[in-house]
A and B are shown apart, each in its own frame.
Chain A
Amino acid sequence: MPVASFHIISGNIIDSMMGIRGLQVVSTHMMYFLGGAVLTLEITVLSILIGMALGLVAALSKISGLKPLVWLATVYIDFFRGTPLFVQILLIYFGVLPMILPDSSNFTAAVIACSLNSGAYVAEIVRAGIQAVDRGQMEAARSLGMSNRQAMWHVILPQAYKIVIPPLINEFIAVLKDTSLVAVIAAEELTLRGKLLYSTTFEAAWIWGTVAMIYFIMTKTLSVLGDWVERRLANE
């Protein structure tokens, strides 16, 4: 028995050194990786969309000047920017969700955690963008008789969004990468699939190299898209 296992291991080592077995493992599991990447993308897209809505509401609350709203938004932003996402995921999946939504899946928990976290960062990006719009714009809109809300919607936000796009793209890239943390609650996205495959094959370099490459292709696509949007806005 010890002899047999020695042979298997030594065989592995030789194959691994030549890279043949690793290449085989990775190529035969490519669809498995891509399936994980799809889940990564699903969590990312949902979290970005929900995070943007949350962030916009939080940013507008923070600049509304209404005490309770300002307070709520500040607490929200401070908490989610001031604690690690890893801890937030654990807290939400094991701590909070079982109390309010006992049947929720790890996917739901992952989206909720990433959305809440991203929303806090988006809020600060949006707030900075709104405040970067010249004060005269608000005054001109108000002097015509627009309400604060009308001025915000028709005059300030359409100008703020151009300022906000580059940092938002950055934030989207960060969200995409941060979804790897939800592996800890067994959401079978790209990183967890890498880990599972590693634990049965031990092809660390090949597996993690492939995982990294797939992440990189996704983030690079996002940033190229961002550059294109930025150029189009500049020409407007």
Chain B
Amino acid sequence: MIDIRDLHKHFGKLEVLKGINCHVKPSEVVCVIGPSGSGKSTLLRCINHLESPDAGQIVIDGQELTHHQTDINTVRQKVGMVFQLFNLFPHKTTLENITMAPLIIKGMARDQAEELARELLRKVGLMDKINVYPAQLSGGQKQRVAIARALAMQPKIMLFDEPTSALDPEMVGEVLAVMKDLAIEGMTMVVVTHEMGFAREVGDRVIFMDEGVIMEEGLPENIFSNPRNPRTQSFLSKVLQV
């Protein structure tokens, strides 16, 4: 589903990604963990071309994203993205946030788009907030709307960029629950997260990144109980200590 080969990315003189190779199978849930500045968010942002890589290849569902003739917009329609800071459209209601992309991009009929939005809002448990503006939602609710908004384009892949990092602790659970439902339904997911519990429970595979390289990857139980790389060991010992 996602095939990344020898991906490099610089910001000025700083090399953020130093040759990433990674493959994600359909319906697989991959959790990317690692210290901040390790390049995990940059990797995620390269997958839908919010950052353009300097070298290497990214193939998504058979389309080569890094090829200059590829229409990035059509590839992006297959890849939903959820941001740390939600990035809901503040001038639009919950319903309009969700229907906007299908209406504009796919030219979907309004009643069809609204029916889809209602279905998605039921799924994320926010039917009662359908006509509310983002400013009136809590962080957890905003993030659930953002997930519904991304799902409205019926993507094949969902990318999550630290979706719970900006939330109050008591709201983390409701967002993770929605993500878990998605995983169970068979969505292909790449999740950059600091929620080790989620990675362990929901992840099919865990990738540990540090200093722009993948240091270690494997089944969650192996990574968490028996990390082999010393960097992974030291990172996990600090994070799991709490």
User: In the complex, are the beta carbons of B87 and A145 less than 8 A apart?
Assistant: no
Does A144 make an interface contact (CB < 8 A)? yes
User: In the complex, are the beta carbons of A145 and B83 less than 8 A apart?
Assistant: no
Among listed A73-81, A111-119, A134-142, interface-contacting one: A134-142
User: In the complex, are the beta carbons of A150 and B105 less than 8 A apart?
Assistant: yes
User: In the complex, are the beta carbons of B149 and A144 less than 8 A apart?
Assistant: yes
CA distance A190 to B104 in the complex (A): 48
User: In the complex, are the beta carbons of B50 and A154 less than 8 A apart?
Assistant: no
Known: A136-B83, A150-B105. Contact between A143 and B48, CB under 8 A? yes
User: In the complex, are the beta carbons of A146 and B85 less than 8 A apart?
Assistant: no
Chain B residues within an 8 Å CB radius of A143 = 48, 50, 76, 79-81, 83, 150
Known: A136-B83, A139-B50, A139-B83. Contact between A144 and B89, CB under 8 A? no
CA distance A147 to B74 in the complex (A): 10
Does B131 make an interface contact (CB < 8 A)? no
User: In the complex, are the beta carbons of A145 and B74 less than 8 A apart?
Assistant: yes
CA distance A137 to B97 in the complex (A): 12
Does A159 make an interface contact (CB < 8 A)? yes
Does B176 make an interface contact (CB < 8 A)? no
CA distance A147 to B79 in the complex (A): 15
Known: A136-B83, A136-B85, A139-B83. Contact between A146 and B105, CB under 8 A? yes
CA distance A155 to B90 in the complex (A): 9
User: In the complex, are the beta carbons of A147 and B73 less than 8 A apart?
Assistant: yes
Which of these, A136, A139, A146, A158, contacts B101 with CB under 8 Å? Answer: A146
B interface, size bucket: 20 to 34
Does B13 make an interface contact (CB < 8 A)? no
User: In the complex, are the beta carbons of A145 and B50 less than 8 A apart?
Assistant: no
Shortest distance from the beta carbon of B88 to any chain A beta carbon, whole Å: 8
Chain A residues within an 8 Å CB radius of B87 = 134, 136-137, 139-140
Q: Between A and B, how many residue pairs show CB distances below 8 Å?
A: 57
CA distance A146 to B91 in the complex (A): 17
Which of these, B80, B81, B90, contacts A159 with CB under 8 Å? Answer: B90
Q: Which of B67-99 contact A (CB under 8 A)?
A: 73-74, 76-77, 79-81, 83, 85, 87-91
CA distance A144 to B153 in the complex (A): 7
Which of these, A139, A140, A141, A158, contacts B91 with CB under 8 Å? Answer: A158
Chain A residues within an 8 Å CB radius of B73 = 142, 145-147
Shortest distance from the beta carbon of B106 to any chain A beta carbon, whole Å: 9
Shortest distance from the beta carbon of A96 to any chain B beta carbon, whole Å: 41
Which of these, A134, A139, A142, A146, contacts B104 with CB under 8 Å? Answer: A146
Which of these, A144, A155, A159, contacts B76 with CB under 8 Å? Answer: A144
Does B100 make an interface contact (CB < 8 A)? yes
Shortest distance from the beta carbon of B191 to any chain A beta carbon, whole Å: 15
Q: Which of B123-150 contact A (CB under 8 A)?
A: 146, 149-150
Shortest distance from the beta carbon of B159 to any chain A beta carbon, whole Å: 8
CA distance A73 to B116 in the complex (A): 43
A 109-138 to B, binary, CB cutoff 8 A, 1 in contact else 0: 000000000000000000000000010110
A139-B83, A144-B149 known, 20 other contacts, Cβ within 8 Å: A136-B83, A140-B81, A140-B87, A140-B146, A141-B89, A142-B73, A143-B83, A144-B76, A144-B80, A144-B100, A144-B153, A145-B73, A145-B77, A145-B153, A146-B73, A146-B104, A146-B105, A150-B105, A154-B104, A159-B90
9 contacts between A and B (CB under 8 A): A139-B83, A140-B89, A143-B76, A144-B77, A144-B100, A144-B153, A145-B105, A146-B105, A150-B105
Measured CB to CB, the residues of B under 8 A from A are 48, 50, 73-74, 76-77, 79-81, 83, 85, 87-91, 100-101, 104-105, 146, 149-150, 153
